[in-house]
Structure 1
């Protein structure tokens, strides 16, 4: 759980273009304590976890890795084979995509993750349009 939390906090912060210090200033957190959240050395108290989720506009379940969807929804409308693929990727992201990057720059890994997240957002938008077209909510 901590590894997923650490990765997601780092990715979300960088997506907002913030340094750790800038984020901590906005939320009133100690930077060295927050840095340990992003490295997985420590984890936030429940109240801080909720504040971080609210700030980033995601669910606590997403931060903790209990959901692959930032809003925490689990009702993915995908065929079983595609759903199995999504679950595999979510649980094996490092092994599946980063193995060939061993020893390379961390930025390379982050760039790939950002591209994957962009693709995921596009898929979610498509699925939402499809649901609306069928009259589902």
Structure 2
């Protein structure tokens, strides 16, 4: 499996296409497609790894899937300015609907108030 194949697989799991991923991380829309024939810069590869919460070694095929687990402060989840819900929270790899996000925020907010 190539670098491009790994990135494509991760994008597919999140319901995104390669162009969207590239633009989301500040690359040109065809940059990742170009990696089929050329090697990416290290900092661009790190951006992709951070975006998908995997290691650069995984993208390069040096190890199995390793998701980087970062603790998320639940109090921040109720504030859209602090957490990108579409990036951090999903169900079976698919983004949550706006209704579900609102319900979760209301539940989390109430639970945090009850502490």
Report TM bin, short chain.
0.5 to 0.7
* TM-score normalised by L of structure 2: 0.53
- Give 2:59's match in structure 1, choosing from 50, 58, 63: 63
Q: Which has the higher helix share?
A: 1
Would the aligned equivalents of 1:62 and 1:71 in 2 still touch at CA under 8 Å?
no
* TM-score normalised by L of structure 1: 0.45
Task: Give the Cα–Cα distance (whole angstroms) in 2 for the partners of residues 64 and 35 of structure 1.
Answer: 15
Task: Give the Cα–Cα distance (whole angstroms) in 1 for the partners of residues 66 and 2 of structure 2.
Answer: 13
Tell me how far 1:71 sits from its aligned partner.
3.8
Task: Give the Cα–Cα distance (whole angstroms) in 2 for the partners of residues 64 and 23 of structure 1.
Answer: 17
- Give 1:14's match in structure 2, choosing from 5, 12, 20: 12
**Long gaps (5+) in structure 2:** 69-115
Task: Give the Cα–Cα distance (whole angstroms) in 1 for the partners of residues 39 and 66 of structure 2.
Answer: 19
Using a 3 Å threshold, how does the CA distance of structure 1 residues 68 and 26 change in structure 2: closer, same or farther? same
RMSD: 1.8
Of structures 1 and 2, the one scoring higher in RCO (CA 8 A, sep 6+) is 2
**Long gaps (5+) in structure 1:** 73-137
Pairs aligned (count):
68
